[in-house]
Amino acid sequence: MSLTITNNVGALNARNNLNRSSNALNKSIERLSTGFKVNRGADGPAALVISEKQRAQIAGLRTAIDNTEKAVAVVQTAEGALNEINSILIKVRSLALDSANSGVNDADAFAANQAEIDNALDTINRIAANTQFGEKTLLDGSAGVTGTTSDTDVTFLKGGSNTSDGTYAVAITTQGERANITAGTSQTGNLAADEVLSVNGVSITLNSGLSRAGVVARINEFTDQTGVVAEDISGGTRLRSIEFGSEAEIEVVSDTAAAGTSSGFGTTLDTDQGANIAGTIDGVAASGKGNTLTSVSGSSKGTVVRIGELSTNAVLTETGAQGNVSIQNNALVFQIGANQNQTAQISIQSVNADAMGVAVTGSKFNSLNEIDVTSFDNAQDALKVIDASIDELSNMRGELGAFQSNTLESIANNMRSTLENTVNAESVIRDTDFAEEISKFTNNQILVQAGTSVLSSANQTSQSVLSLLQ
């Protein structure tokens, strides 16, 4: 064995091994202190790439679960308000049934029921306008299909779940008509004697001395009971129904013969009924009821609009081209997944009284907002509209309930399971196995201690050369 002092190879070897042991010990300390066995790319490039993707997915899943829980809160807020409206409609239905029991009701009872119904409808409109989640209104139609019209004579009422975004032309081919009767003889002087005029079964006493304008005013005092409006026109006194359509009727007869000094309607029963509107939406024939058009096919399917009356003749609706209705679906969209375009949406249509019970067949009333229960016939027609409104509301609540249960809650449960498994997979890749790492730490600690001792001994070998120089 040669002895040298210029190069101490043994010490270099011991130092290299000590450095390796020290680095290994430092890595063990880092893994034990952070809890991760992959702390930087050098610790495992492939593992780091996979782990970071899984971390992004885990964060996305947690946010998506929170999103679904917030969405459930939105749906429950809307459904709770609809439940209250449903309770109000049931009460309105009871009032209509009470009015239908006309054998025991007088005019005051009819009026009291109608006043309570009017108040209930105002409450429905108030709930529709004020039900909010944060600042987002849910039931006024802004969370569903909305529409604007280019012609002031056309009013957008509502859209359907199948209505597509777009701009659709509205045209009237047959005018809607109110029931109307004009007195056969024009009243030219004051009434010569008392007269009893029966309008839709309601007896109206006209006192002698009334002018034609006075007769018109007296008849209009009973509009709530008759559903009829009197007008003084150039040809004489005209009666017209409030509603448009074939269900609107007028029956009028007087106990006084027609003359210039009577109302002019005469002692022969005169009857008339209105006519339903007809027209197209987006060039396709629409269903007409009263003065409303409902699109039944094509991209505009489900769109309902109301046509206004002629400015020169309140008996008829406008006719011809009526501009366009522009439809936009503002459905509530929820991000219910961890990745792009993993969304769900639901439309909540307007529950204003004007948008429910629209164009119900067999009723003179064209919406819930128009119902009147001041007579037996009116109460019967009102019941059809109320029942249709309850059905619409129940269907909306069913759709919301199905969306909450089958979409939101089911997706949330699935994401919780996915989150659990993804976290477990990421843990396997990145988390420190403390049992294994403690063993490595102890081993490296001993190696460092031993290496330090060996390096010290290696450095002492050069000292042995000095003994040869003595």
pLDDT (0 to 100) of residue 17: 76
Query: Alpha-carbon distance 309 to 15, whole Å?
Result: 102
d(CA 46, CA 200): 87
State which H helix or E strand residue 243 sits in. Answer: strand 236-244
pLDDT of residue 462: 67
Q: What is the pLDDT of residue 43?
A: 72
Q: Are 289 and 263 in contact (CB under 8 A)?
A: no
In 3D, which of 69, 158, 148, 164 has the Cα closest to residue 348?
Answer: 158
Give the pLDDT of residue 37. 75
Phi, psi dihedrals of residue 201, rounded to the nearest 5°: 85, 0
Contact 128, 368 (CB under 8 A): no
SS3 354: helix
pLDDT at res. 466:
64
Predicted confidence at residue 41, as pLDDT, reads: 67
Which residue carries 């390796």 as its tokens?
20
Residue 468: per-residue pLDDT: 65
Q: Which amino acid is at 215?
A: V
One pLDDT digit (tens) per residue for the chain, 470 residues: 566 666 667 777 777 877 787 777 777 777 777 777 777 767 778 877 787 788 889 899 999 999 999 999 999 999 999 999 999 999 999 999 999 998 888 888 998 999 999 999 999 999 999 999 988 999 998 898 889 999 999 999 988 878 889 999 999 999 999 999 999 999 999 999 999 999 998 999 999 999 999 999 999 999 988 889 999 988 789 999 999 999 999 999 999 999 999 999 999 999 999 999 999 999 999 999 999 999 999 999 999 999 999 989 999 999 999 999 999 988 899 999 999 999 999 999 999 999 999 988 888 898 999 999 988 889 999 999 999 999 999 999 999 999 999 999 999 999 999 999 888 887 777 767 777 778 877 887 887 787 787 767 767 666 666 666 66
pLDDT at position 2, please? 61
Phi, psi dihedrals of residue 318, rounded to the nearest 5°: -65, 160
State the Cα–Cα distance between residues 414 and 420, nearest whole angstrom: 10
Sequence-ordered list of residues with C-beta below 8 angstroms from that of 334, at least 6 positions apart, any chain = 67, 68, 71, 343, 344, 345, 408
Smallest CA-to-CA distance from 316 within 226, 394, 238, 202 is with 238
Q: Which residues pair with 228 in a beta bridge?
A: 241
DSSP 3-state of 63: helix
